[in-house]
Amino acid sequence: MAMRPALLLPEIVLFLGALAALLGGSFLPRTRQWVTRVVAAAALVLAAAMAAVALAGPTAVAMEGSFTVDPTTGVARLVATLGALVVLALAADEIDGSPRESETYALLLLSTTGTLVLAGADDLLVVAVGFLLTSVPLYGLIGITGTAVAAEAAMKTYLLGALFGILLLAGVTLLYGVSGTTSYAGLADPLAAAPRAVVAAGVVGILGGLLFKAGGVPAHFWVPDAAQGAGGAVAAFLTTVPKIGAVLAAYRLVAALPDTLAWPLLVAVLAVASMTVGNLAAYTQTDPRRLLGWSTVSQVGYLLVPVTVAGRSDLALPSLLLYLAGYTVTNLAAFAVTTAFPRRRELSAYRGVGRRYPWLAAALVVALLGLVGTPPTAVFVGKLTTTAAAWDAGDAWLAVLVLLNTLASLFYYLRWIAPLYARPTAEHPEDGDPPAPWSRWTAVATANLSVLVGVAAGVLWAVATA
């Protein structure tokens, strides 16, 4: 096999874009730091275009077979780069002219690069590299605002990241020790003959690291604090883009394992725990971003359902890709509304927004009902198809728990929707706090895209399963 670096052009473009933004920002005055945002946006657009071209080509492997370029990698590249592009639009309102503007764009691109590496990894060592490349920039991004809350969130994320990073590396070491290889293509047979306790410890360690990156139980504690303490654009990014790579890496790993241990049951338990813990914790939240932080923990549970049935249902991978695309656009729409009103940090502060800004309120309603799984939004199609995949694989109990958790989640999203159309009060007057322009239109555009993807899901599903 050859190295074939040309297959990694989208990742290379993002990495070079990050370097250009970082170095360029060092020589630009603060009033012209927006140039680095243009550079970052150009890198993301170019990477997305290259990913679209590669998506139409045949499946290929690069780096001695350790990285696969297939339709799964192609969809992940498109969704992650376009998702990061939306985050740049949110950043235009929030950090334009700030002291760390160019550094923020560079770190966003580096973390996105790590996400793409995770999504295409077909080797345990590449998973470890992707984990580090995705995680390390996040620590800086969370604390870059310099507030006390952000510093606390960054420290908590760093400590948990270090712990689960060690677990991931220990897991890679154990599996290499008993199999003699780190390549997925050669793992199944050696692991089937290896001591089960060692294999179990290795796989649990790697899954723990990936769950930290995805924000799932039991590695989820940093997510609500980071969503609340970080800037709005960063919060939107960390709850969306890194998940794409982490969940797909978990899918590829589980699909490569031998069936000598009950991996599907382990992942199913983690999925149910994420759904339930995230939904129950969200009930008591009054900060909208913290509520969305717990919401994203529950969404990881739904995303793990197709991982549970990897290799046991033909619906698993297409439903996972569709859910990832739908969740990305819908979650970004919800966060865009919070960056449009950065000073409204209580659910009650959204009182009367529907009367003054009907399009923005409608976008939030679409996003929140979309996260519940209400038709015709994209997440509804994602939940429907992932539930069908669980049912198709014979895990009817898991499908029932998905539906029960979906019903339970409705109530805490309604707690945010209800004030939107209530009458303004003296504390929250009708004409106070106008929305930030970039975030306002980004929220409306992504909410419309969520509905459009849901309506066109039949066509997308046909393409994904062709």
Say if residue 376 is preceded by a cis peptide, omega within 30 of 0. Answer: yes
Residue 449 has a pLDDT of: 96
pLDDT score recorded for residue 464: 67
Whether the per-residue pLDDT at 131 is higher than 90: the answer is: yes
Query: CA separation (Å) from 311 to 190, 253, 300?
Result: 19, 11, 20
Distance CA 127, CA 63 (A): 13
Over the stretch 289-343, which tens digit does the pLDDT of each residue have?
A: 999 999 999 999 999 999 999 989 999 999 999 999 999 999 999 999 999 999 8
Contact assessment for residue 267 and residue 280, using Cβ atoms and an 8 Å cutoff: no
Q: What is the C-alpha to C-alpha distance for residues 196 and 121, in angstroms, rounded to an integer?
A: 24
Residue labelled with tokens 């992940």:
76
* Helices (H), ranges, 215-315: 222-229, 232-238, 241-256, 263-282, 288-308
DSSP 428: S
- Residue 437: HSE in the Cβ half-sphere, 13 Å Cα cutoff: 2
N- to C-terminal Cα separation, the chain:
28
pLDDT tens digit string along 166-217? 999 999 999 999 999 999 999 999 999 999 999 999 999 999 999 999 999 9
> What is the structure's pLDDT at 109?
97
pLDDT, one tens digit per residue, over 56-79 is: 889 999 988 899 999 999 999 999
What pLDDT shows up at residue 31?
Answer: 84
Produce one character per residue of 327-363: b if its CB has 16 or more CB atoms within 10 Å, e if not.
bbbbbbbbbbbbbbbbebeebebbbbbbebbeebbbb
pLDDT digits (tens, 9 = 90+) for 426-458: 666 666 678 999 999 999 999 999 999 999 888
The two tokens of residue 96 are 């334009």
Share of the chain above pLDDT 70, in %: 97
C-beta neighbour count of 430 within 10 angstroms: 12
Q: What is the pLDDT of residue 1?
A: 61
pLDDT score, position 430: 63
Is residue 273 scored above 90 in pLDDT? yes
Predicted confidence at residue 281, as pLDDT, reads 96
Lowest-pLDDT range, 275-279, 307-311, 396-400, 460-464?
A: 460-464
Among 48, 49, 22, 47, smallest CA distance to 36 is for 22
- Report how far residue 318's alpha carbon sits from residue 29's, in angstroms, rounded to the nearest whole number: 47
pLDDT of residue 23 exceeding 90, the answer is yes
**Dihedral over alpha carbons 108, 77, 398, 259 (to 10 degrees):** -110
pLDDT of res. 98: 85
Mean pLDDT estimate for the chain: 93
The per-residue pLDDT for 63 is 87
Mean pLDDT on 26-36: 89
Over residues 76-118, the pLDDT tens digits come to: 999 999 999 999 999 999 888 888 899 999 999 999 999 999 9
Mean pLDDT, residues 139-152 taken together: 93
- What is the model's pTM? 0.96
Report the alpha-carbon distance of residue 131 to residue 337 in Å, rounded.
30
Task: Compute CA 385 distance to the chain's CA centroid, rounded to the nearest angstrom.
Answer: 19
